[in-house]
């Protein structure tokens, strides 16, 4: 009688218990590992090459078994539980008139944002933001203003629901199409005489994390 088939497709001996399949990793699981790695790199525990390699593995990991080795040798994960889940707001409202509104560093991304801006600038920097869900909807009423989204690998911006009148939308991907999507930012509402720009950090992502200066261009001639 043929043996039973394991979930991985490998037959087992007749009557032997099946090994449980590896648990799948969620977006939140990958985000927690990325957060530990970036903090460790900022503290000097990982080199730029090590961080680059581990981030690539974390963003493409499918199971928890693939994620575990990435932080096993770091103090943040060595026998101490991760910090409690942050308090995530359902809605954050921004009312900006003629000024500059910025969210940078380790801010907690809400489930939804309402952005109203007239003749000013709104900057949402996601490079070190705390992300706990897979979608952020931004309802916009932006006139004569700019909305700047600074992204990181795994964040995509969707402007299909945005109505644009005499404005400009410039969305630049932070990573290649093979990178798993961790957060989808959906832009909706109206943009009039303004601009939306989504871009990665101006300097190399890893250098930004490590607070290193950008490399100088080579001199020619």
Average pLDDT over every residue of 49-74: 87
Rounded to whole angstroms, how far apart are CA atoms 88 and 109? 7
Rounded to whole angstroms, how far apart are CA atoms 186 and 159? 6
pLDDT in tens, 2-60: 544 455 444 555 555 566 788 888 877 887 788 788 777 777 888 888 888 888 888 88
> Do residues 95 and 202 share a domain?
yes
What's the confidence (pLDDT) of residue 58? 87
Report the chain's mean pLDDT, rounded to a whole number: 81
The residue among 194 and 42 whose pLDDT is bigger is 194
Give me the residue label for tokens 């309802």.
139
pLDDT in tens, 74-96: 875 443 444 455 688 999 999 99
Rounded to whole angstroms, how far apart are CA atoms 46 and 49? 8
> Do residues 129 and 73 share a domain?
no
Rounded to whole angstroms, how far apart are CA atoms 153 and 179? 7
> Do residues 191 and 111 share a domain?
yes
CB 116 within 8 A of CB 141: yes
What's the confidence (pLDDT) of residue 141? 98
Domain range for 61 is 27-77
Q: 114: closest CA among 187, 15, 215?
A: 187
CB 174 within 8 A of CB 152: yes
Q: Is residue 159 in a domain? A: yes
Average pLDDT over every residue of 99-123: 94
Q: 67: closest CA among 55, 50, 49, 81?
A: 55
Give me the residue label for tokens 């809400």.
110
> Do residues 50 and 115 share a domain?
no
Does residue 220 have a pLDDT over 50? no
Domain tally, the chain: 2
What's the confidence (pLDDT) of residue 114? 98
- Which pTM does this prediction carry? 0.61
């Amino acid at each position: 009688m043929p043996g039973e088939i394991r979930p991985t497709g490998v037959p087992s001996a007749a009557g032997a218990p099946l090994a449980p399949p590896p648990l799948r990793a969620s977006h939140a699981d990958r985000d927690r590992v990325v957060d530990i790695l970036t903090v460790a790199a900022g503290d000097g525990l990982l080199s730029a090459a090590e961080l680059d390699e581990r981030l690539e593995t974390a963003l493409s990991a499918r199971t928890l078994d693939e994620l575990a080795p990435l932080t096993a040798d770091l103090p943040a994960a060595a026998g101490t539980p991760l910090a409690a889940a942050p308090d995530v707001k359902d809605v954050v409202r921004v009312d900006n008139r003629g000024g500059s509104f910025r969210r940078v560093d380790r801010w907690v991304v809400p489930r939804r944002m309402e952005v109203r801006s007239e003749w000013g600038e709104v900057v949402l920097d996601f490079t070190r933001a705390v992300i706990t869900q897979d979608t952020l909807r931004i309802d916009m009423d932006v006139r004569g203003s700019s909305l700047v989204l600074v992204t990181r690998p795994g964040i995509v911006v969707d402007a299909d629901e945005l109505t644009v009148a005499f404005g400009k939308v410039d969305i630049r991907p932070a990573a290649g199409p093979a990178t798993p999507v961790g957060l989808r930012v959906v832009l909706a509402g109206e943009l009039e005489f303004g601009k939306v720009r989504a871009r990665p950090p101006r300097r190399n992502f890893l250098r930004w994390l490590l607070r290193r200066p950008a490399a100088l261009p080579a001199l020619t001639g």
